[in-house]
Amino acid sequence: MPAARVRRLTAAVLTTAGAVVAALALTTTGATGSDPARVGHDWIAVKKTDTQPRTLRAGNSWTVYMTLHESENGKPGRRIGDASTRCSAVEITREGAITQCQRVFRTRQGNLVTTAMLDRFGPGPYTGVAAVAGGTGAYRHASGEARLTIDGERLTVRADLDG
């Protein structure tokens, strides 16, 4: 085979491989940019286990384990990892419970950690804003906010990360 043809074939193979790698990197971040720590993430976590007591009292603590998915039109899409929550009831009022929760969202790119106090008044859904406290891997320098909605067995997350 002539050397010029070998060079053209090698260039074509390398270009195709580079495009495939770039496409895979974009689809595995769950985000629109190449740096998962500097973009917005729309995720849905689906509850698998929950140790929350039926009747909350101040001081009660519980954990929740969830599967983590990309949000596709407000529904769980491709699974991208898992998540856990550790909550404590800090105050019980006539309206409901005030809770403090830390969450860890675990993806292939690393862990993203949030913390928040949320009011759980009435039947739900419950919404609030959590601080992004950091993370590991691609999220090791992450900061920003995450808007949370707890609706039955689902936790919807919109994390806007600064870096």
Q: What is the pLDDT of residues 84-110, one digit of tens each?
A: 999 999 999 999 999 999 999 999 999
Reported as a pLDDT band with limits 50, 70 and 90, residue 27 is: very low
CA gap 148, 128 in Å, rounded: 5
- Residue 39 pLDDT class (50, 70, 90 cuts): confident
Cα–Cα–Cα angle for 8, 14, 19, rounded to 5 degrees? 125
Structure tokens at 28: 């595995």
Helix, strand or coil for residue 12? helix
Q: How many CB atoms lie within 10 A of CB 113?
A: 20
Strands 154-161 and 96-107: unpaired
Decide if pLDDT at 118 tops 60: yes
What is the C-alpha separation between 77 and 68, in angstroms, rounded? 9
For residue 43, the cross-strand partners are: 70, 157
pTM of the predicted model as reported, rounded to 2 decimal places: 0.76
User: CB 97: neighbour CB atoms within 10 A?
Assistant: 21
Q: Which one, of 163, 30, 16, lies nearest residue 106 by Cα?
A: 30
In angstroms, the CA 12 to CA 137 distance is 32
Say if CB 156 and CB 76 are below 8 A apart: no
pLDDT at residue 20 is higher than 60: no
* Of residues 146, 127, 147, 119, the one with CA closest to residue 135: 146
For all residues of the chain together, what is the average pLDDT? 84
Q: If we measure between CA atoms, which residue out of 33, 13, 16 comes closest to residue 109?
A: 33
Architecture of domain 31-161: Beta Barrel (2.40)
Q: Residue 36: what pLDDT?
A: 65
Identify the pLDDT of residue 163: 63
Per-residue pLDDT band at 21 (split at 50, 70, 90)? very low
Quickly state the pLDDT bin for 35 (edges 50, 70, 90).
Answer: low
